Amino acid sequence: MADSGVAARPRGAGAGARGPHGVALMLFVLVWLSCVWFGSYAFNPNNATRLFAAISLVERGDAKIDRYQSLTIDKAQFGKGAMRHYYMDKAPGMTLIAVPAVWAANAATGKQSLDEVIDIANPRLRTFLGVRLSLAVAYSSAVLTAFAAVLLLDLGTGLTGSPAAGVFAALGYALGSVVWGWSTTLFGHAPVAALFLIATWAIWRGTAGARELRRWRYPVMAGLALGFAVAIEFQAALAGVAIGVWALWRTRGVTRPIRLRMYAVAAVMAGVAVLPVLAYDQVAFGTPFVLGYQGVVGFKGMNEGLFGLTYPKPFVFWEILFGLRRGLLWVAPVLVLGAVGLGLMVRDRTTRDLGCLAIAVIAIVLSINASYYYWDGGASVGPRHSVPAIPFLAIGLAPSWAALRRQALRWAAVALLGVSIVINLIITSTDMFASEALASPVWTSNFEAMFLRGTLATVLNRYGGWGAWFSFALYLDIALPLLALIVWQTRRAERIALE
């Protein structure tokens, strides 16, 4: 193996190593800023239906979207005739997150949706929705993704003993994949991905030693993260079970009183996180035991199996991973190294359990996506329903980096990460909702039709009247020096770790 330039196993796998605090702070700022700088289309049906429900909760105290239902195809209908009403057809987690943004914006501006003409061509309504969408994203999706990136830095550093490996993994996850673009929306995919990673980190770090096992914060974090992931996307329960089983395995040798206390705290916190779903259903439907999905209109495929879920189709697996239209490979090529890294983790006894968990969660998420009637996600860049698998591929980036001995191989890995970041910068700065009719949307839509022509979607040019290229250049003026500082501080931390 010495001649190949690749180590046989990750270096120094030890959970005692921590991600450098200064690097972590700068990484959080870079990822958060990158997510809030660019804004998604507020009238996208998936964004819009969540916003409409949040607006109705704030302004009317109910969850009906009757007044706005003509502006979205994502809706549920209950009742007939005069008793017919329309509702959001999603899990309510992201809508409930958006409620404070709607309330704060209404209070600050003195404006409500009742003051606007409900017409998709109304620019004032577009701004009204866009401002509230941007505010909600800023403290939800963007914060969760940035926080998860920091925890992945810590996890990658702990697995390998290398801060550089942790940074490589964190950047690959947050900026080198479509997690970045989906973190500019109210879609649930990126938040669920972040919550899965937060829970995984809490279990991994919280079972690293006797001192950590006695700390309440780890089971509290794990329980809240897994519970709220289900509140955002109900199917997250399946991958959540896998993470829970892994937690049982990690704690199998812990004394019974400590183990039971950890389980009880995590279970209570998960229940607390799910309670808002029951409250929303009670307000919306008069009972906590009705789901918006039960009244979906306009999507006949939802009647197949369980709300559109049947069984995994092999050709869909191929399309999710390698297809030109939705393939993960084309929007995040650096994740190939993540798959290699997971193989290294499984080979290493000290990291085998985490490697097996990552593979299991990836398999569950991809299988759910491949079982779904609308597997391609409609107007989408990349396989949006598979986004929760991305952080688990990204975990493998750390040992993959640490296994590279030759400088040339590391430069090649950096180049692959750079390509992935540039691809996702182009995607995020233009449009996450490329037409489903396009064979290669990233090239034909995001790059040729939009990016080259300056059709960009920064918050400053969309709602502040700034020039598109000027606001894009301003982002680079802030982000690139910040990235350079992260690299510089990481190299310094790497030298200290090797001393």
Q: Which residues contact 259 (CB under 8 A, 6 or more apart)?
A: 251
CA angle 314, 302, 386 (to 5 degrees): 45
- Tell me the helix, strand and coil percentages in the chain, rounded to 5: 70, 5, 30
CA 365 to chain centre: 13
d(CA 30, CA 485): 11
What length does the chain have? 499
Query: Is-contact 405 5, C-beta < 8 A?
Result: yes
SS3 at position 154: helix
Angle of CA points 424, 430, 431, to nearest 5°: 90
Give the separation between CA 157 and CA 431, rounded to whole angstroms: 33
Gap between the Cα atoms of 320 and 17, Å rounded: 35
**Structure tokens belonging to residue 145:** 């993704």
Read off the DSSP letter of residue 83: G
Query: How far apart are alpha carbons 425 and 434 in whole angstroms?
Result: 15
Ranges of H-type helices in 286-379: 314-322, 328-331, 335-347, 352-371
């039709």: which residue's tokens? 449
Report the candidate in 469, 465, 462, 471 with the shortest Cα–Cα distance to residue 129: 462
**Cα end-to-end distance, the chain, whole Å:** 25
In whole angstroms, give the CA distance from residue 370 to residue 306.
14
Question: Is-contact 170 27, C-beta < 8 A?
Answer: yes
CA–CA distance from 229 to each of 154, 185, 192 (Å)? 22, 16, 5
Please provide residue 157's backbone torsions phi and psi, each rounded to the nearest 5 degrees. -65, -40
Instruction: Determine the Cα angle at 175 with ends 173 and 177, to 5°.
Output: 60
Query: Which positions ≥6 away from 346 have C-beta within 8 Å?
Result: 352, 355, 356, 359
pLDDT tens digits for the chain (499 residues)?
Answer: 333 443 333 333 455 678 789 999 999 999 999 999 998 899 999 999 999 999 999 999 999 999 999 999 999 999 887 789 999 999 999 999 999 999 999 999 999 998 899 998 999 999 999 999 999 999 999 999 999 999 999 999 999 999 999 999 999 999 999 999 999 999 999 999 999 999 999 999 999 888 888 888 999 999 999 999 999 999 999 999 999 999 999 999 999 999 999 999 999 999 999 999 999 999 999 898 888 888 888 788 877 888 888 999 999 999 999 999 999 999 999 999 999 999 999 999 999 999 999 999 999 999 999 999 999 999 999 999 999 999 999 999 999 999 999 999 999 999 999 999 999 999 999 999 988 889 899 999 999 999 999 999 999 998 888 999 999 999 999 999 999 999 999 999 888 877 6
Torsion angles phi and psi, residue 439, rounded to 5:
-75, -35
Pairwise CA distance, residues 170 & 156, whole Å: 8
* CA nearest to 32, candidates 185, 144, 142: 142
